Structure 1
Amino acid sequence: MEGSLEVLESQHSIAMFRTLDTAGPLASSLPPTLVWGGRMNGNPGEVFHGIGSVPVLKKGDKYPYFKKVETFLQRFGYLDRAQHPSQGVLTEEVSDALERYQKLHALSVTGEFDEETRAQMTTSRCGMADPGSSLTYVTVCPWDRTNLTFSFTSGTSDVLGDEEFGAVRNAFETWALSTPLTFTEVSAGSNPDIAVGWHPTIAYDHDMTGDVVAHSDNPPDCSILDFGPPQPLHFDNGEQYWAIGEEPGAYDVESVALHEIGHLIGLDHSSNPAAVMFSQLNPNSIRRSLWPDDLIGALTLYPFQP
């Protein structure tokens, strides 16, 4: 989601990929790519400081601050940091990584660091890494049961009363209505499967500075953060504004929660810009309805029993 929703950098070698036909009516009805705009310390800011000042580059070009772009590609799963340390050069490998990034984000696939790619990289996004190829839905792993519990650990003063909790409950209910999953709210001291809360930008389990609007994790058997259970659903309460519905400069709690719950039940990012599991979302917008893309992925993990 374009403020960034994250599960952490990873090459997702454990992911199991399944494709959905993108040539049919679903693909033809997709809206334009959605993005999130972030802010840093209350001011409009870039996802990664410095990327916006990197000029347009072609394969073979060198530029010191291009290392910022390489770091971005490493963080979100397009380059292996160990095998490709940042050099400030647009190499063949980096060009291939840019092509994968461009394809997944519905950009012109050039393999170059062009203006369109720079603009996309300087918007906020989901903190979870992207899958390794341009697929529609991507599954990682399921829970070993379908009856899950959740609790709230903290809220946000951006929203009146405790409406943020109701918005998260609505997001859980949306997934429950279309799958065999159930989500039961319990007290924080009842060993919940999922802990929901608003945290400082630099939280105990993940740094959400700059680009990450919220983050969660996969189910325990394929956890990336590996702090749980409970598995986290954490909203950035330091650099981001939160709202119920559309509000300029703010993110809709329910829309972000719906995406993060998708990660929590075992879904990775989708390449479908209309899907809840697409990595980006504009502030002042909502995305509260599951698309067939989201549902097929969830039901692959949790099929209804006859």
Structure 2
Amino acid sequence: MKFPLFIPIIFLLLFSIYPTSAHFFPNITSIPRSLIPNTTVWEAFNQLLGCHNGQKVDGLTKLKKYLQYFGYLNFSYSNFSDDFDDYLESAIKTYQLNFNLNATGELDEQTLKHIVQPRCGNADIVNGTSTMNSGKQPRTHSSNSTIHTVAHYEFFPGKPRWPESKTELTYAFLPENQLSENVKSLFGRAFERWSEVTPLTFTETTSYSRADLKIGFFSGDHGDGEPFDGVLGTLAHAFSPPAGRFHLDGDENWVTDGNFLNGSPVSAVDLESVAVHEIGHLLGLGHSSVEDAIMYPSISSGTRKVELARDDVMGIQELYGSNPNYNGSEPSLIPRQERDSSGTYYLHYSLWEFVMPLVIGTFLLFTL
């Protein structure tokens, strides 16, 4: 019996994009030694220290592919040799400008230090347009203050955003990932960071197919043209409105307690920090050249960064306006449920939550 040609093709496609079982760890000490790599996927770039135009050095081919992936080399560029040409020099200068480095076009120590860091998989330059605002004419926008503020946030080309009529967005998790409630609540906190400063609200739904925002963990090539590369390297990526797709690399060592005070293995990645960043993309923000901003492209392993910076707030409010309850100060959201240094949960209570039981108790005491 002969099978139609499309049946094996569909079979292969299904298995090439099948979601992975991600690695979640409650704290850094629970990461098995077998999952901690000796080197990172981009660490070999360190051997290129001091390279400049006119040289031919092993490893420049891989660097060119890296720079093309993140938009610094045009996709029509095809000279993937180990020759340091004018195009590579120009790409490195643009990279250095975006990351506030000395724009020499040479691979100095500071430039390589940034290149080898784990980062978001979204490109910094899309279709020739930079989503980072460094080295450009600075913005002086501030919707909530009379202070003259220089902003470095950027948007996707065309400035896509969710429609004004759609302020209630739903999100869902890929069912095959079978995420725990603890992991799901972490994403809920990440969404709160953005709802605190905008009119947008985010509600979890069980219908993955109908959700506005779809979150999933995958491994390697997962069918969207942006394959993951294993531990570190690219950590996650998300698509601009109205696509709503948010993909994370299931091979990472995702830490959920956010406690890195006692150091961490080189491969430990704070899940909530990455989630807050990628949600910014889901809402229409590009990358920022402000290192303290959530929308900065890179984050070192063992780093926790979940508070929106002023640059993030200004950018998202240019797209959606402000939450009526936002007072214009720095965001100060404290997750209602945190962990202390021992890894156990504790709760933050508001004054009303503390007083209410006393009021009820006093009432019952005098009525019984």
User: Counterpart in 2 of 1:236?
Assistant: 249
Q: Number of aligned pairs? A: 257
- What code does the residue aligned with 1:293 have? D
* Residue 102 of structure 2, aligned match among 108, 115, 125: 108
Q: Deviations over 1:2-39 (max 9, x none)?
A: xxxxxxxxxxxxxxxxxxxxxxxxxxxxxxxxxxxxx9
In the superposition, the TM-score normalised over structure 1's length comes to: 0.75
2:311 matches 1:289: no
Going from structure 1 to structure 2, the CA distance change for 1:55 and 1:265 (only over 3 Å counts) comes to same
Query: Is 1:303 aligned with 2:321?
Result: yes
State how far apart, in whole Å, the 2-side matches of 1:40 and 1:203 are. Answer: 25
Q: Does 1:208 align with 2:228?
A: yes
The equivalent position to 1:88 in structure 2, one of 73, 82, 90, is 82
Residues 75-224 of structure 1 aligned to structure 2 (within 5 Å): 75-83=69-77, 85-131=79-125, 132=130, 134-135=133-134, 136-140=152-156, 141-144=160-163, 145-154=166-175, 161-189=180-208, 191-205=210-224, 206-210=226-230, 211-220=233-242
Pairwise CA distance, 1:302: 0.9
Q: Indicate the structure with greater helix content.
A: 2
Find out whether 1:245 has 2:258 as its counterpart: yes
Q: Secondary structure at the match of 2:114?
A: helix
Identity %: 32
* Structure 1 residues 221-255: Cα deviation after superposition (integer angstroms, max 9, x where no partner): xxxxxxxx5x2222212133332213423222211
CA RMSD after TM alignment: 2.7
Q: Which has the higher contact order (CA 8 A, sep 6+)?
A: 1
Structure 2 distance, partners of 1:256, 1:109, is: 28
Cα deviation per residue 1:166-195 (whole Å; 9 max; x = unaligned)? 110001111011011111111135600111
Distance 2:68 2:258 in 1: 33
CA drift at 1:304: 4.5
Q: Which residue of 1 aligns with 2:60?
A: 66
Change (3 A) 1:203 1:246: farther
Q: Any conservation in 2 of the 1:76–1:130 contact (CA below 8 Å)?
A: yes
User: Counterparts of 2:269 and 2:254 in 1: how far apart (Å)?
Assistant: 6
CA separation in 1, counterparts of 2:287 and 2:196? Answer: 21
Aligned to 2:340: none
TM-score normalised by structure 2 residue count: 0.63
Compared CA separation, residues 246 and 100, structure 1 to 2 (3 A): farther
State the SS of the aligned residue for 2:318: helix
- Whose Rg is larger? 2
Q: Quick one: structure 1 residues 49 and 41, their matched pair in 2 at CA, closer, same or farther if it must change by over 3 Å?
A: farther
Bigger mean CA deviation after superposition, 270-279 or 85-94: 85-94
Q: Distance in 2 between matches of 1:103 and 1:189?
A: 40
